[in-house]
Amino acid sequence: MPMLKLVAAALAAGLGTNGLVGGWAVITVENPPEYLEAGTTYAIEYTVRQHGKTLLTGLDGTLLVQAGGTDPFTIDTKPGSSAGHYLATLRVPATEGLRLTIRSGFSGNGWGDLTLLPIPVIRAGGERPSFSSVQVGRRLFVAKGCGTCHVNGDVPEFATLNRVVAEAPVLTGRRLAAEYVRQRLTDPTSLPRIGDYPVRMPDLSLAPAEVDALVALVSGAGDRAER
């Protein structure tokens, strides 16, 4: 399905009854892994922001884990050390990859969920997979919840897996100046509001390496550097 039609379908399905009355949230994974090692423990930490801004507390969330051809299972989440933060601890199974879905417990019909891109799993002491900056940026675009507000047909996996609210500028096919993207990511309130969108971009406290990868994706700098 073309990206704009997919977004329109998502909006028609949910915004009329959910989105306009506070029924959607943005989930941001604080520590998304590029890969995991079988037999180790991974504690995923995430935040939930109503309308992409207000951190939500008191939610009863779960982590849905799908590993290879086995039946999916769920893990209950618990509050993290800060308001609006949640944790779920997973013992990594021996499989080729994992698909993780956070069900935050806020709203319904997928408006409070986030499914990550498949996470490679290596055996103990195995060779670590290598990702380009753009590949890392694509994974972060999903894990940080960027696609909840920003339609981006260059990362079609987000809308395939998750709800799209489209409350921010469209990024499909755009190549923005690297320093502008960097400032938007690190100090969003220092720049003027764009258009009439009701939601302003929050400060997600991204790590420098995460900022670099997202800049490479959105600006196209990574595409040029990796040719």
DSSP state, residue 54:
E
For the chain, residues classed under CATH 2.60.40.10 are 3-122
- Helices marked H in the chain — which ranges? 3-14, 133-143, 146-149, 156-161, 178-186, 208-219, 221-225
pLDDT tens by residue, 58-69: 999 999 999 987
Q: Would you place residue 1 in the very low, low, confident or very high pLDDT band (cuts 50, 70, 90)? A: very low
pTM of the predicted model over 0.85: yes
**What is the CATH number that goes with domain 133-225?**
1.10.760
SS3 content of the chain, % helix, strand, coil (to 5): 30, 25, 50
**209/141 Cα distance (integer angstroms):** 13
Check the CA dihedral 215-219-225-226 and report its sign: positive
**What number of helices (H) and strands (E) belong to the chain?**
7, 11
Q: Would you place residue 196 in the very low, low, confident or very high pLDDT band (cuts 50, 70, 90)? A: confident
**In CATH, what class is 3-122?**
mainly beta
For the chain, residues classed under CATH 1.10.760 are 133-225
Phi-psi category of 45—alpha, beta or left, where left has phi over 0 and alpha has psi -120 to 50?
beta
pLDDT tens by residue, 17-47: 334 345 899 999 999 999 999 999 999 999 9
Q: What does the pLDDT read at residue 70?
A: 83
